[in-house]
Structure 1
Amino acid sequence: MNWQIRQAVLSDIEWLVRVDPIAAKDHGRRVQIERAVGTGECWVACGTKDPSVPIGYGCLDKSFFGEWFIPLVVVSNVHRRSGAGRQIVAHLEHCSSARKIFTSTNTSNT
C-alpha cells in the first residue's frame, strides 16, 4: 500500500501517542513526540482515504554529533509489515538531503 507522508501538526499528537505503545506508558516518550512535532522534526504516515489519521510516524533531527539522525520510526501494530515504515524512512532520507543518516535500534524492537 502507498501511504501519504506529511509533516506532523499539533493536532496529531494524541493520535501519535495512541499509535506508539511506549508513549501510552512513558510520559518521556510523549514529551519527545511533542517536542519533535513542535520543532517540525516529525512526519506522519496516513492512509490516502483519511489523511487526518496517522498510522505511523518518524522523526528526523541533527542530534547525533550534528549529523542527521532518525531517532524514532513507529508504525501501529495493525499496519506493520505494510511498507509504511519503509516509506517513512525513505521520506526522511529525502527530507534530509544528506549523503549519510544515522539511526539505531533497541531491544524493544523485536
Structure 2
Amino acid sequence: MIVRLATTADISALAAIDSSLSHVPHRCTQIREWCAAGTCYLAENEEQVVAYGVLNAHFFGCGFIEMLMVAEGYRRQGVGSQLLHTLISLSPQPKLFTSTNRSNVTMRGLLLAAGFIESGHIENLDEGDPEMIFFYPNRCARN
C-alpha cells in the first residue's frame, strides 16, 4: 500500500469509496476542497484507491486529522491503521488531534490502539451522539 497526496484528478475515486456520500450531501464539495488545498492523502493498493485521510491545522493551529475513510471492502485489514500512522508522521505541528462520534466504536478503537487518548467531547453537533476529541501525546514527546 502506498500513500500519496490526492489531486483533483482523484476526486471521483475518493467519492466512490466514501460511505457517507449518501447522507452527507456536501461531501463531494468537501473532497474537492481538500484536494485543492493539498490536505487530502489517499492510500492505494495496486493502483486502486482504498482509503483517504485529511490532515490540516485548522484546530486551534494544531494538527488535526479531519477525516479518515476506508473503502468498505478494505476495513479491518490494517488499512486504516496504516493510513492513520502515515498521517501522524506527516503532521508538522507538535500537537495532533482528531475526532469521531461516540457511536463510531470502530474508529474509537482504532484511535486508542494507535496511541490516541480521549481529550473531551463536543455536544450538539449530531443530535444525541457527541463528537469525541482525541489527542496523540506521543508527538509531543518526540518534539
Determine if the TM-score, normalized by the shorter chain, exceeds 0.5. yes
In the alignment, is residue 80 of structure 1 matched against residue 75 of structure 2? yes
Unaligned runs of 5+ in 2: 106-143
Q: Hey, what does 2:34 align to over in structure 1?
A: 36
2:15 is aligned to 17
Shift of 1:93: 1.1
Q: CA shift at 1:109, angstroms?
A: 2.8
Count of aligned positions: 105
User: What are the within-5 Å matches in structure 2 for residues 1-110 of structure 1?
Assistant: 3-47=1-45, 49-50=46-47, 53-107=48-102, 109-110=104-105
Point out where structure 1 has 5 or more consecutive residues left out of the alignment: none
Q: CA deviation at 1:23?
A: 2.0
**Which deviates more from structure 2 when the two are superposed, residues 86-95 or residues 21-30?**
21-30
When Rg is computed on C-alpha atoms for both structures, the one with the higher figure is 2
What TM-score comes out, normalization by structure 2 length?
0.68
1:76 maps to amino acid: A
Aligned Cα RMSD in Å?
1.5
Instruction: Give me the identity figure in percent.
Output: 34
TM-score by length of 1: 0.87
How far off is 1:77 after superposition?
0.7
Superposed CA deviations along residues 52-101 of structure 1, whole A, max 9, x for unmatched, are x2111000001111111001000011000111111111111111133321
Q: Which has the higher strand share?
A: 2
